[in-house]
Structure formats: structure tokens, C-alpha cells
Amino acid sequence: MTSLFEEITPEASGDVPTRKITISINGEQRSANVEPRLLLAHLIRQGFKLTGTHTGCDTTNCGACTVLLDGEPVKSCTMLAVQANGHEVTTVEGLAGPSELHPIQEGFKDEHGLQCGFCTPGMMLTAKALLDRNPDPTEEDVRWALAGNLCRCTGYQNIVKAVLWAGDKLRGEADGGEES
């Protein structure tokens, strides 16, 4: 009996019904044989060993598991891995290259937008989807966009500031100019 939970193998193990799926994760094509009931969050965390995606609840409320599916935020605890077959998934590990930071990451650090850090990856990915769609959001836009992500530590004010900071920086970059 092979545990399909942690040992995701390209070949089926034989004694459990599985389906072969292929996902582009952070730009890399990965294939896996998975049980149809395996949650996407678990495939990402245990199968692909990308533990920056967290799980905090069992009712799709907390958003700690948020990833981007073809650029849209989804709660990976509420999606089956097989549903992501053929799609592009971005996790926190894919926000920037190993030695660089995305402006959203910089913003969270600079504005003290995190404390325990558990909600942070989900928050940042939701923020990324917002800024991709709306590069110059108001505070209200940011608060509304983040309403599916719970944070228990910060009281949100600094998270909102962090997202606005990142928006400013990204627009500055897009204009090709330095920020004042």
C-alpha cells in the first residue's frame, strides 16, 4: 500500500484508484498520479513539498490556502487536485525568484503586514490578483478584496497599507520611474 499523500509518484501504485494529472506549478510542469479525493492544498504541500501554502480551517473561510489558478485566487483546500489538471497554479514560492522579492512581499515587510506569518502567503496572493486586475486600488477596494482571508494577528490595517505600498511601487515600475 503506497501512501499517495506524501509519496506522489509519476506511476500509479496499483491498489488505489488514481488519476494522472499535469499541473503547471510556478511555471514548472509537474505530473502526478493522485487519488481523485486528494485536495489541491495537500497536493501542493505534501506532494510538491511547497509548504508556503497553509491550511487553517475546514470550511473555506480562512483563506490561508489561497493560491492563484490561472491568475485567479482560489482556496486550494476546497478544490480537488484533479480539478487543477491542465491549469496553471501560482503559490507564494512562485511570487518571485529565489534571490528577489515581489513588491507585495517587500510591502508586507516594510509596512509590518504580518506577525505570525500564517495568513501571509494567502493574503499576498489575493493581493496579487487584485493588483493585477486593479493596479491603483483604494483602501476600500483592498479591504473588500481581502475579505476572504482571515488574519488573527494584525488587525488588517498594516496589511492594507502593505498592498497599497506594493501598488504604488508596481505603478512606479510600470512608469519606468523611481518612486518619490
Q: How far is the CB of 21 from other proteins (least distance, A)?
A: 17
CA distance 92 to 74: 13
Q: Is 115 an interacting residue with respect to ligand FES (CB under 6 A)?
A: yes
Q: Show Cβ contacts of residue 122 under 8 Å, excluding neighbours closer than 6 positions.
A: 53, 54, 62, 63, 64, 65, 66, 149
CA distance 168 to 9: 43
Q: How many residues are listed for the chain in this entry?
A: 180
The closest alpha carbon to 92, from 76, 110, 112, belongs to 76
Angle CA 165–55–52, to nearest 5: 55
Which residues sit opposite 161 in a β-bridge?
Answer: none
Question: Pick from 84, 151, 166, 170: which binds ligand FES (CB under 6 A)?
Answer: 151
Question: Pick from 42, 75, 102, 128: which binds ligand FES (CB under 6 A)?
Answer: 75
Q: Indicate the residue among 84 and 103 with the shorter CB distance to other proteins.
A: 103
Q: Indicate the residue among 85 and 115 with the shorter CB distance to ligand FES.
A: 115
Which of the stretches 6-14, 103-111, 147-155, 163-171 binds ligand FES when contact is defined by CB under 6 A?
Answer: 147-155
**Which residues contact other proteins (rule: CB under 8 A)?**
1, 3-6, 15, 35, 37-38, 45-46, 49-59, 61-62, 64, 91-93, 101, 105, 108-110, 112, 114-121, 124, 142-144, 146-160
**Which residues contact ligand FES (rule: CB under 6 A)?**
55-57, 60-65, 75, 77, 114-120, 151-154
